Amino acid sequence: MSTAPALGRPRDTSLDAAILRATVDLLGEVGYAELTMTAVAARAGTTKPALYRRWPSKAHLVHEAVFPPQEQPLWPDGADLAASVRLMLTGAVALFSEPTVRAALPGLLSEFATHPSLHSALLERFQSDVWDRMRSRLAEEGVGVDADVLVDLVAGAAFMAVTLRSAPVDDTWVDRTVDLLLKGIQP
Amino acid sequence: MSTAPALGRPRDTSLDAAILRATVDLLGEVGYAELTMTAVAARAGTTKPALYRRWPSKAHLVHEAVFPPQEQPLWPDGADLAASVRLMLTGAVALFSEPTVRAALPGLLSEFATHPSLHSALLERFQSDVWDRMRSRLAEEGVGVDADVLVDLVAGAAFMAVTLRSAPVDDTWVDRTVDLLLKGIQP
Amino acid sequence: MSTAPALGRPRDTSLDAAILRATVDLLGEVGYAELTMTAVAARAGTTKPALYRRWPSKAHLVHEAVFPPQEQPLWPDGADLAASVRLMLTGAVALFSEPTVRAALPGLLSEFATHPSLHSALLERFQSDVWDRMRSRLAEEGVGVDADVLVDLVAGAAFMAVTLRSAPVDDTWVDRTVDLLLKGIQP
Amino acid sequence: MSTAPALGRPRDTSLDAAILRATVDLLGEVGYAELTMTAVAARAGTTKPALYRRWPSKAHLVHEAVFPPQEQPLWPDGADLAASVRLMLTGAVALFSEPTVRAALPGLLSEFATHPSLHSALLERFQSDVWDRMRSRLAEEGVGVDADVLVDLVAGAAFMAVTLRSAPVDDTWVDRTVDLLLKGIQP
DNA sequence: TGATAAGCGAGACGGTACGTCCGGTCTTGAG
DNA sequence: CTCAAGACCGGACGTACCGTCTCGCTTATCA
C-alpha cells in the first residue's frame, strides 16, 4: 500500500512551499474573504492551475497553510490535571490569537457547509492532539468528566473571548476561568 | 433629538422587507460564501444599487437579516440561577443550530477584520440581551463569578458543539455541561 | 396667439445661461459621448431636474448650447456668386472646425433616429441662414442650379474635409474646390 | 511575418460571429446611442468580458461590425470618368442609406475625439477602396483634379443629402449633382 | 391684502449599464 | 502521462449615471 509510482513529470515541490507561504502572507495582509487564488498565484510566482492541481478550493489551501499536518503538540501536557487545563486554555488562546488563525478560522468554518471534506479534515487534524489527549488525561486521573464537554468549554471560552468579544485576554480572565472549571470538575 | 427631516424621495420600505427576506432565504439555500448581492437583488425583485444604498456590504446586510434589532429576549430567564444557566445553554444551542444562523455566523466573524463597525454592531446587538442580563442575574444571587467568564463558557461550549464539532447536542451533553458549570459556580 | 400668462414662479433666467455655458465648456473638455447631465448640473451649480425642466434630453440641451437660435448670419454674402460660394465654403469649414461644433455635431446626428424633433429643429435652424439665402442668391444671378445640390456639395465637402478626413484645410484645397464648383455652375 | 504561436486557450470563433451579428441587429433596432454592450452580450449569448477581450470599446465593435475589413469594392469602376463619378455618387448614397450605416456612422464620428485609433482605422478601411482608386482613375484620364477635392465633394454631397437633410435622393438630384461635377472637372 | 396654486432648488430614490476582477477550465508545449 | 503556463469564458462586483419623485420655499395671480 504505497503511493502511486510517480508517473509522469514530477511535481515541483518548491512550488508547494512558495504557494503555502504566499497564502499565509496574504491571509495576514488582506484576510480570508479578500484572499484570491489569483493573488496567491501571483505572489507565489506561478499560475492558478498549479494551485488547483494541488488543492480543490481556497478553503482547502488555507486549511493546509494555516494548520499544516502535525508538527508537534500545540501545547504541552501539565504535571497534573489542573496544570493541563490551564495549559490547554492558554494554548487555545494563543492559537486563536495568531493573526493567521484569526483570519482563517471563521472563514474555514463558514465553508463547512459547502465542503464537508474540509470539516472532517479539520476535526481529524485536532483529534489526537486535543480530544484524545484530554480523554486519556482525564482517564489517568480517574475524573468522571466527559472529554467532549470539557474541551467544548475550554476551547469555546477561548474562542469566544478572542474571536467574538475580541477582549484583551489577561491573567485575571484565565485564573477565573480555570478556577471555575477545576471546581466544576472535582468529584 | 429627532430624526432627519426626510430630505429627498423617501425610501420604498417594501423593498427593505423584500431584500431581508430574500437574504434569509438564500442564506439557507446556498450558504454565506455563495450568497451574492446580485442573487439577493434578483430574488427581491430589485437591483444592486438598492442594496448598497441600504447596507455598505454583504456582511452588514446579512447581519441585519439574521440578527434584526431586538424583538424579544432570545431566551427567558429561569426561576433561579441554575435554571437560568440551563436556559442560556439550551438557548444558545438552539440559536446556533438555526440554519440561517449556522450559515451566517462564521461568515460574519470572518469579516470582522475588514468591517470593524460590523464587529461592534454584533456585540451591541447582544450586549443587553446576554451579558447585561447575566451580570444582573449573578448580582441578584450574590454569586461572585465574572459574567464575561460565564458567558464565554456557556456560549463558547454551545458554539463548539454545534458549529465546530457539529455533534448532535443531546440531553446528556447539556446535563453534564450544566452540572460542571453549576458546581464551578458554587461558592 | 400669445404665450401662457406666466403662472406660478417665473424661471430663473440666470440658470439658463449658466447651464448652457457649462454645457459648452464640458463639451470642449470631454466630448459629446462623455458629457453627462449630472456633470452639467454640477458645473452650472444647480440640479438635474432644473435641466430636464428646460430640455427633454441631452441632445436638445446640446443643440441649443451649440446652435443658439439665430444671432447673425454664420457668414456674410459676397459681392457676386463666386465670392458667395467661397465665403460659404470657408464659413462652413470654420463652423465645422470650432471645437464645440466638432464635438457636438456628429453626436447630434447620431440621435436623429431617437429624437426626430431634434432633426427638424436643426434643419430649421439653418434653413433661412443657408438654404434660403443660397436659393435667392442663385435666383438673383439667374443661375439655373438647384440650391440643394450646391449646398450639399459645399457643406458636404467642408464636412468631409474637416470631420471625416480631419485634414488641414489650407488655401489650396479651398481654391481647387471653389474653382471646380464655379466651373460646374457656369451655364 | 506570422501571427503569434497561439499561446493559451484559443478564442471561440463562433462567439466573434455571434457578437458581430448581434451588434448589427441591435444597431438596426435601437440605434447607436441606445446600443449597449450588455444587450449585445445577451443577444449573442455570451457576456461582456468576451466583448471587451475582443474590442476595447463599443465604437471599435460597431466599426468592425458595420465596416468589416474588405470584402469587395463598395462600388464598381465605370467605363469612363463620367461613369465612375456617377457610380461613386450612387454608391455613396446607397452606402449611407443602409440602415446599419445610417445608425452607426455619426456615432462613430462622434467618438473620434475619444478614440483616435478608431479614426485612423476608419480612414484606412476606405483608403484603397475610395481615395486610391479615384486617384488612379483621374491619373489615367489625365484630368488635373485633386482626388481629395473630388472625393470630398462626391461623398460629402451624398452624406449631406442622406444623413443631414434626410431627403429622398432621386434621379434628378443625382443627375444635377453629377452634371455639375463633370462640368467642373472638364479642362 | 391674504389665500391659492404652480414652479422652483434641492436631494435622494429605483434601476440600467458600465468596465473590471476573479473563479475555474482548456489548450499548448516542455519534460 | 503529468507538468507549468497563458488565455479563455462567464459570474459577480461596486459605481456612475439616468430620469423621476418628494419636499419645503418662493412667487404671482385672484378672491
A70-124 pLDDT, tens digit each: 778 888 888 899 999 999 999 999 999 999 999 999 999 999 988 998 999 999 9
Which residue among D150, D180, D186 places its CB closest to the CB of C149? D180
Using the CA of A35, give the nucleotide whose C1' is nearest. E22
Identity of the residue numbered A170: D
Q: What is the mean pLDDT of residues B77-93?
A: 94
Sign of the four-CA dihedral D29, D31, D32, D34: negative
D113 phi/psi in degrees, rounded to 5: -60, -40
Cβ contact (<8 Å) for B157 and A159? Answer: no
Q: How much is the mean pLDDT over chain B?
A: 93
Q: Is the CB of D176 under 7 A from strand F?
A: no
* pLDDT band at residue C100 using 50, 70 and 90 as cut-offs: very high
The residues, ordered by sequence, that sit 6+ positions from C114 with a Cβ below 8 Å of its Cβ are C59, D31, D33, D34
Sign of the four-CA dihedral D100, D103, D109, D112: negative
Give CA D47 to chain center in angstroms: 27
Residue B5 has pLDDT above 80, yes or no: no
User: What residues of chain B lie within 8 A of the CB of A33, using their CB?
Assistant: 110-111, 114
Residue C4 has pLDDT above 70, yes or no: no
Q: Which three cell numbers stand for residue D11?
A: 478564442
User: What residues of chain A lie within 8 A of the CB of B184, using their CB?
Assistant: 179-185
pLDDT value of position C13: 87
Q: Which residue is nearest to nucleotide F26 (CA to C1')?
A: C9
Q: Which three cell numbers stand for residue C134?
A: 443660397
Contacts 24+ apart (CB under 8 A), D149-152: D149/C157, D149/C173, D149/C176, D149/C177, D149/C180, D150/C180, D150/D85, D150/D181, D150/D185, D151/C160, D151/D88, D152/C156, D152/C157, D152/C160, D152/C161, D152/C165, D152/C177
CB D161 within 8 A of CB D167: yes
pLDDT value of position A1: 39
At residue C108's C-alpha, the angle toward residues C105 and C112, to 5°, is 140
**Å separating the CA of residue B7 from the C1' of nucleotide F22:** 8
Q: How much is the mean pLDDT over chain A?
A: 92
Q: What is the mean pLDDT of residues B106-130?
A: 93
Between CA D100 and CA D112 the distance in angstroms is 19
Between CA B35 and CA B58 the distance in angstroms is 8
DSSP assigned state of A161: I
Cβ contact (<8 Å) for C155 and D160? Answer: yes
pLDDT value of position D187: 75
User: What residues of chain D lie within 8 A of the CB of C186, using their CB?
Assistant: 183
pLDDT value of position A2: 42
Which residue among A32, A179, A185 places its CB closest to the CB of B180? A185
The residues, ordered by sequence, that sit 6+ positions from D59 with a Cβ below 8 Å of its Cβ are D107, D108, D111, D114, D115, D118
Q: Is the CB of C63 under 7 A from strand F?
A: no
Q: How much is the mean pLDDT over chain C?
A: 91
| Closest residue by Cα to residue B101 from B83, B126, B128 | B126
Q: What is the mean pLDDT of residues C101-125?
A: 93
Give CA C89 to chain center in angstroms: 14
pLDDT value of position C181: 97
Q: Is the CB of D12 under 7 A from strand F?
A: yes
pLDDT value of position B101: 96
Give CA A186 to chain center in angstroms: 29
**Interface contact A165, partner B, CB < 8 A:** yes
Lowest mean pLDDT, pick from B5-9, B13-17, C113-117, D122-126: B5-9
Q: Which three cell numbers stand for residue C74?
A: 454664420
CB B62 within 8 A of CB B56: no
Q: Among D89, D110, D114, which would you mutate to test the C interface (most chain C Cβ atoms within 10 Å of its Cβ)?
A: D110
**Residues 43-82 of B with CB within 7 A of strand F:** 48-49, 52, 57-58
Residue A5 has pLDDT above 70, yes or no: no
Sign of the four-CA dihedral A81, A83, A88, A93: positive
From first CA to last CA, the distance across chain C in angstroms is 47
pLDDT value of position D82: 93
User: What residues of chain B lie within 8 A of the CB of A184, using their CB?
Assistant: 179-185
> By percentage, how much of chain A surpasses pLDDT 70?
97
Residue C155 has pLDDT above 50, yes or no: yes
**Interface contact B139, partner A, CB < 8 A:** no
pLDDT digits (tens, 9 = 90+) for C27-86: 999 999 999 999 999 999 999 999 999 999 999 999 999 999 877 888 898 889 999 999
pLDDT value of position A154: 98
pLDDT value of position D70: 75
**Interface contact C158, partner D, CB < 8 A:** yes
Residue C146, class by beta-carbon neighbours within 10 Å (0-12 exposed, 13-18 middle, 19+ buried)? middle
Q: What is the value of pTM for the model shown?
A: 0.91
* pLDDT band at residue C2 using 50, 70 and 90 as cut-offs: very low
DSSP assigned state of D7: -
Cβ contact (<8 Å) for D160 and C159? Answer: yes
| Closest residue by Cα to residue C162 from C79, C87, C98, C78 | C98
User: What residues of chain C lie within 8 A of the CB of D101, using their CB?
Assistant: none
Question: Which is more confidently placed, A69 or A64?
Answer: A64
pLDDT value of position A3: 47
| Closest residue by Cα to residue B12 from B51, B63, B64 | B51
Residue A41 has pLDDT above 90, yes or no: yes
Nucleotides of chain F in contact with protein CB (under 7 A) are: 1-24, 26-30
Residue B180 has pLDDT above 80, yes or no: yes
pLDDT value of position C6: 61
Between CA B112 and CA A164 the distance in angstroms is 9
Along the 187 residues of chain D, how does pLDDT read in single tens digits?
445 567 889 999 999 999 999 999 999 999 999 999 999 999 999 999 999 999 999 999 999 999 998 778 888 988 899 999 999 999 999 999 999 999 999 999 999 989 999 999 999 999 989 999 999 999 998 898 999 999 999 999 999 999 999 988 999 999 999 999 999 998 7
Cβ contact (<8 Å) for C156 and D151? Answer: no
pLDDT value of position B4: 54
Which residue among C149, C165, C185 places its CB closest to the CB of D173? C149
Using the CA of B47, give the nucleotide whose C1' is nearest. E15
Between CA D33 and CA D62 the distance in angstroms is 11
Q: Look at residue D12 and give its three-state secondary structure.
A: coil
pLDDT value of position C7: 74
Q: What is the mean pLDDT of residues C104-128?
A: 92
Q: What is the mean pLDDT of residues A160-173?
A: 95
Residue A187 has pLDDT above 90, yes or no: no
Lowest mean pLDDT, pick from B20-34, C2-16, D98-112: C2-16
Q: Which residue is nearest to nucleotide E22 (CA to C1')?
A: A38
